[in-house]
Amino acid sequence: MSKPNPADRKYSKEHEWAMDNRDGTINMGITDHAQELLTDIVFVELPAIGKKVKQMEPMAVVESVKSVSDVFSPVSGEVIEVNKELEEHPELVNQDAFGKGWMAKLKMDNPAELNNLMDAALYTEMIKEEKH
């Protein structure tokens, strides 16, 4: 069973989360539901610092033994930090997708874009429906 989706952040329909740091930046990663679908994550390709991304464009890649999946940026902006730990320990995404498995910190171009994302209740509802 997936862990509950924390209420302190926003969610994309592609299963990314974004946490507003209230300083024009967000931290982002993939949801616990996403890591559960991917199962054994063995590689995470993080974006370069300084990379500019658009909302819902591919920004990183996660690979399980079997599959390669894009990770989409929940907002437009610039990558200012990445979670280097994932290079050696990609399994952190499986173990703690909402915490130690975070992927990147972005400086937002337009914080209003966060309104395009779902809150935890809506996202939880969406994945419940996907299962049926």
Partner 1 sequence: MKKTPLYDRHATLGGKIIDFGGWAMPVQYSNVIEEHHATRMKAGLFDICHMGEIEVKGPQAFELLQWVLSRNIEGQAIGQIKLSVMTNENGGIIDDVTVYRLGEERYMVVTNAGTKDNDYSWIETQRRARGLSDVQVIDNSDRTGKIDLQGPLSQEILQNLASDDLALLTYYHAKDTKVMKIPALVSRSGYTGEDGFEIYTESRRLGEIWDKLLEIGAGLGLKPVGLGARDTLRLEAGMMLYGNDMDETITPLEVVYGWVTNLEKDFVGSSALKKLKEKGLGRKLVGFEMQDRGIARHGYKVFKDATEVGVVTSGTYTPTLQKAVGLAFVPVSYSKPGTDIFIQIREHHAGARIVELPFYRRRK
Specify the residue, 26 or 38, whose C-beta has the smaller distance to partner 1. 38
Specify the residue, 9 or 33, whose C-beta has the smaller distance to partner 1. 33
Minimum CB separation from partner 1 for residue 103, in Å? 15
Specify the residue, 42 or 114, whose C-beta has the smaller distance to partner 1. 42
**Coil/strand/helix, residue 86:** helix
Specify the residue, 51 or 107, whose C-beta has the smaller distance to partner 1. 51
Minimum CB separation from partner 1 for residue 132, in Å? 16
Which residues are at the interface with partner 1 (CB under 8 A)?
A: 39-40, 42-43, 45, 61, 63-66, 68, 87
Minimum CB separation from partner 1 for residue 115, in Å? 31
Specify the residue, 28 or 38, whose C-beta has the smaller distance to partner 1. 38
Minimum CB separation from partner 1 for residue 64, in Å? 7
- DSSP codes of every residue in 30-57: E-HHHHHHH-SEEEEEPPPTT-EE-TTS
- DSSP codes of every residue in 55-85: TTSEEEEEEESS-EEEEE-SSSEEEEEE-TH
| CB within 8 Å of 47: residues ≥ 6 apart | 53, 59, 60, 79, 82, 104
For residues 2 and 105, give the distance between their C-alpha atoms in angstroms, rounded to a whole number: 24
C-alpha closest to that of 42 among 99, 86, 96, 100 = 86
Minimum CB separation from partner 1 for residue 62, in Å? 11
